[in-house]
Every structure is written in C-alpha cells, then in structure tokens.
Chain A
C-alpha cells in the first residue's frame, strides 16, 4: 500500500474535530479525487500524508513509515504536496534555485541537484526561464513551476490541493494532461478538489468527505451520479448527470459523465421512438 489511514482522528487546536475515524487505503499508482465542501477535511487529510499534521488518534502509514515516527522532511521525500496557492511560496531570485531548494534540503549532491532541476524544468517547459526570477512568470507558468518544484525529487505519492482553482479552460486542459502523465509514471496521485467536471473527465477513484467522515468511496461513475451521496457531501453534480436525471422518466440513464455518452443516449431515445 502507498498510504494507509487507520481510524484517524484529528482535532485542531481551535477544537475543530476535522477528521473523525477516517480509514482509507491508497494503492500504488492510483488516481484518487477527494471531494467535499470547504471544511469537510480534504486538506486536513492531505496534510497527514506528509506529516504536517499527526493524528490525534489512530495512525497514518505512508510507504511503510508511521508518520508519527518521521519528520515532515523525511515524509515529504516520498509524498509531495502541492498547495492550493503554491505560486505564492516563491522566494529565490531565479527559477533554478527555486526548484533546487528542496533538493538541497534533502541533501542531494550538487551534481544530482543540477540534473534533477534541469529534468523538472524541461518536463514542465520552463527550461528557458531557468535564470529568471520566479516572480516574473505568468500565472500559468507559476503553477507549472509549483509542480516542477515538487516533481524534482520524484516522490512516489503526489498530493494536489485544488489544482484547478481560478484557471481558464486551456490551463485546466494542461493540468489534466500533467496529472494523467504523473499517474502513467506509476505515481499515486491524490487530488483534493471541488471541480466536479474536472473529476468527471479524469474518472479517478472518488472519495467523498463530509464533516470529517468518509461518506463514499468508489468509482467516479457510481458516486457522482448518486443524488443522496452528492447531497450529503454538499457538492454539485456534474451538469450532464443533473440534466439526465431530470429526464429519467423518459427512459434516460443518468450515469452520463461525458458528452459522447450523452449524445449516444439522446440519439438512441429520439431515433428509437421515431421508428
């Protein structure tokens, strides 16, 4: 297992009980979407994976290590976390050093650092900006840099907190492509997100959280089309599912997650009836 949560409870100093007995298992190479409204526990859960938060009760085991026995620096080497506004964490005078920062912290030799930084920058098409200030990059470039920073040390698990916030369709398309690539490389990818359409396009395993508890865990097609679950987790249904649900009385199946499937169904019903 890549990561295991065993009956994890977490209570913030402000007394908010953010995780209530969460038990989950993440297999290597899985693509998982964590969904739920603000305050449901998504970010709290992600922070347990790299040890930023340690469970108050229960335990979290990441790549075989109990998080309570390891430091954040140690856990981060196997589990990278890209924060929601990671573009606001830059501080170096050039892009190269910005990416090298983590690698140097982890103790890699300068030779290895150079190789890895160059690889990461090339992978995210930022190699031409190597000596530029990270503050001068465009919004989309900054987001790619944030990913390059984490990918540079090639963690086996990657956690992304709201990767599509505030992005236009072109940027989201790129993000989808990057996530799929990470997954093809064999990494376990966890996404905490609200973007239900984005999730519908990726078809990952979906975990719904509500008030710190897991209310659903399974296939995207089954969960996002279940009205009760969607309501319980206070998320929005994908538009197509919502639209087809309203037409169930006409014989439509609401488990429609993409446009192709939708077209097929409508044609079937309309042509069939006209015979």
Chain B
C-alpha cells in the first residue's frame, strides 16, 4: 500500500503543493533528463540535494521514505551489479564503489523525481493536467477511474477473502501448488464482481451522457500564476546549465579518480 500513499486526495498547503501541476510535471521531467544524461557523482548529488530541499519544504519526508523503502532492494541490486561489472573491468575497489554509488544514487534520483510529483499533486490535479495537455479524455477517465476504484476493490478483496476463509479456505498453508490453487476461490468472485461493476458503471456512464459531446468542457481549470512562472523559470535555468555542462564537457572533473583518494586501494 505504500505506493498508494502517494496518491492522496486532499491538496496539501505547502508552496510546492500549491504549484501548478504542469510546472511540477515539467520539473520532474527535467530532473529526470538531467539525471539520465549525466553520470557524474557531483551532479547526481546536487540533484539529490535539490530534491531533498523540495521534499523538506513540501513536508512529505515521511511519505517519501515509505515510497522509497519499497524500492531499496532494487537500488541494492543496481549497486551490486554495477560494482561487480566495474570491478571485473578494473579491479580497483574505490573505482568500483564510486561507480556503484553513482548509479544507485542516480536510480534514487529517477524514482524521486516522479514520486515527488505524485506526492504533492492530488489525482484530481493530475487528471486536470492530462486534460489540459490535450490527452484524449478516454485515457484521463481511465486513469481517474483506476484511482477511484482501487480502494473499493481493495475492500472487496478483503470481503471475498473473509468469506472464503469462513468456508475453511486457508491461504497461507500448504505447498506452493496448493496455495496457487487456493487463489481461485478468491480471484473468480473478484473477477465476477469486476465484470458486474463494469456493467453498472457503463450504465451509469450512459445515463450521465459520457461521450455525448466531442468538445468536453470542465468545471475546473489550471491557471499559471506568477509564482508558478517564476519557479518554472528557475528550473529552466538550472536545467539549461545542467545540459550545457554535459554538452560542453565541463563535468565537475572526472570525480571518480578523486574519490579514490578517500578510499584505501
């Protein structure tokens, strides 16, 4: 459930929360691109620091930690693989560690860039963003519906599980093959419910004129304010600096050998 913690329903009140979601989306994208084009520990650390600033000012550090915690095994794997592949090419521990650190931190930056977006934007705002970015309404609707009905389905899963357990189903006992078979009494009713729900929803959609007009309007609208534009400009400047540093080959030194000075060979 920790991933879903990120999709809260009520807007937060910090500066970051109140930013126009399009600006946040653009920022996340730019951070991601910068991280992709650089494999320089200093840049990565700088990005991580910027992200931390954002996290702290948005006061979402606890939620962020929860989201990241799920990805830690992945980060550890990346660390290990990078270290060993580098070490096999150049058996110097410090270099190996340096690369491994860089790549795993880079992964962290990737994950954080978009998780920050989701942690500080309500699903409603995300839907509005998609709409104003001219994404066809069917996709936005599918997205919103998925979020809308996830808690409902989670509840249903619990109900079905309870009912089948009351019929003697034991879900955590027995050999692997039996446990797989034991999923059938849970999955079939869930599926049937999903199908039944789809019919009911489709009926309600018909009755609520879904697809009636090609030119769909909307209740709310996203408006860029001065602070949104200001923030965007700052981010654009940083982004262009980051890109030009790469293009001009001005990476803050081949820092990896430097790192070697701190680690005994």
Are any A and B Cβ atoms less than 8 Å apart in their complex?
Answer: yes
- A interface residues with partner B (beta carbon < 8 Å): 47, 50, 52, 71-73, 76-77, 80-81, 83, 85-86, 88-91, 101-102, 105-106, 135, 149-150
Q: How far is the CA of A81 from the CA of B160 in the complex (A)?
A: 13
Whether the Cβ atoms of B185 and A88 lie closer than 8 Å is no
Pairs A–B under 8 Å by Cβ, sample size 9: A72-B165, A81-B166, A83-B159, A88-B193, A89-B189, A90-B189, A91-B189, A91-B192, A105-B167
Whether the Cβ atoms of B168 and A105 lie closer than 8 Å is yes
Whether the Cβ atoms of B185 and A102 lie closer than 8 Å is no
- Determine how close the nearest CB of chain B comes to the CB of A54; give it in whole angstroms: 13
Whether the Cβ atoms of A91 and B185 lie closer than 8 Å is yes
Whether the Cβ atoms of B166 and A52 lie closer than 8 Å is yes
Smallest CB gap from B156: residue in A: A88
- B interface residues with partner A (beta carbon < 8 Å): 159-160, 162-170, 184-185, 188-189, 192-193, 196
Smallest CB gap from B165: residue in A: A72
Collect the chain A residues with CB atoms within 8 Å of residue B193's CB: 88
Collect the chain B residues with CB atoms within 8 Å of residue A80's CB: 166
Q: A88-B189, A91-B185, A135-B192 are in contact. Are A149 and B167 (CB under 8 A)?
A: yes
- Determine how close the nearest CB of chain B comes to the CB of A74; give it in whole angstroms: 9
Q: How far is the CA of A73 from the CA of B167 in the complex (A)?
A: 7
Q: How far is the CA of A29 from the CA of B210 in the complex (A)?
A: 54
Q: How far is the CA of A266 from the CA of B62 in the complex (A)?
A: 68
Which listed residue (A73, A83, A106, A135) contacts B163, Cβ 8 A?
A83
Collect the chain B residues with CB atoms within 8 Å of residue A47's CB: 162
Given contacts A73-B169, A88-B192, 4 further A-B contacts (CB under 8 A): A72-B165, A89-B189, A101-B167, A102-B168
Smallest CB gap from A135: residue in B: B192
Whether the Cβ atoms of A102 and B188 lie closer than 8 Å is no
- Determine how close the nearest CB of chain A comes to the CB of B154; give it in whole angstroms: 12
Q: How far is the CA of A149 from the CA of B169 in the complex (A)?
A: 13
Q: A83-B162, A89-B160, A101-B185 are in contact. Are A77 and B168 (CB under 8 A)?
A: yes
Smallest CB gap from A93: residue in B: B188
Whether the Cβ atoms of B169 and A105 lie closer than 8 Å is yes
- Determine how close the nearest CB of chain B comes to the CB of A119; give it in whole angstroms: 17
- Determine how close the nearest CB of chain A comes to the CB of B14; give it in whole angstroms: 25
Collect the chain B residues with CB atoms within 8 Å of residue A150's CB: 166-167
Whether the Cβ atoms of A106 and B185 lie closer than 8 Å is no
Q: How far is the CA of A159 from the CA of B166 in the complex (A)?
A: 11
- Determine how close the nearest CB of chain A comes to the CB of B179; give it in whole angstroms: 14
- Determine how close the nearest CB of chain B comes to the CB of A258; give it in whole angstroms: 34
Collect the chain A residues with CB atoms within 8 Å of residue B168's CB: 73, 76-77, 101-102, 105-106
Collect the chain A residues with CB atoms within 8 Å of residue B188's CB: 90-91
- Shortest Cβ-Cβ A-B pairs, 9 listed: A105-B168, A91-B188, A102-B167, A89-B163, A72-B165, A81-B166, A73-B168, A102-B168, A83-B163
Which of the listed residues A86, A91, A101, A135 has the most CB atoms from chain B within 10 Å of its own CB? A91
Smallest CB gap from A77: residue in B: B168
Smallest CB gap from A76: residue in B: B166
Q: How far is the CA of A71 from the CA of B185 in the complex (A)?
A: 19
Q: How far is the CA of A73 from the CA of B172 in the complex (A)?
A: 12
Smallest CB gap from B187: residue in A: A91
Collect the chain A residues with CB atoms within 8 Å of residue B189's CB: 88-91
Smallest CB gap from A47: residue in B: B162
Which listed residue (A50, A73, A91, A149) contacts B170, Cβ 8 A?
A73
Q: A91-B184, A91-B188 are in contact. Are A105 and B166 (CB under 8 A)?
A: no
Smallest CB gap from B158: residue in A: A52
Collect the chain B residues with CB atoms within 8 Å of residue A76's CB: 165-168
- Determine how close the nearest CB of chain B comes to the CB of A65; give it in whole angstroms: 16
Collect the chain B residues with CB atoms within 8 Å of residue A102's CB: 167-168
Q: A88-B192, A89-B160, A135-B192 are in contact. Are A52 and B185 (CB under 8 A)?
A: no
Q: How far is the CA of A72 from the CA of B164 in the complex (A)?
A: 10
Which of the listed residues A47, A81, A102, A105 has the most CB atoms from chain B within 10 Å of its own CB? A105
Whether the Cβ atoms of A86 and B163 lie closer than 8 Å is yes
Q: How far is the CA of A52 from the CA of B170 in the complex (A)?
A: 12
Whether the Cβ atoms of B167 and A52 lie closer than 8 Å is no
Collect the chain B residues with CB atoms within 8 Å of residue A90's CB: 188-189, 192
Collect the chain B residues with CB atoms within 8 Å of residue A85's CB: 159
- Determine how close the nearest CB of chain B comes to the CB of A152; give it in whole angstroms: 10
Q: How far is the CA of A101 from the CA of B165 in the complex (A)?
A: 11
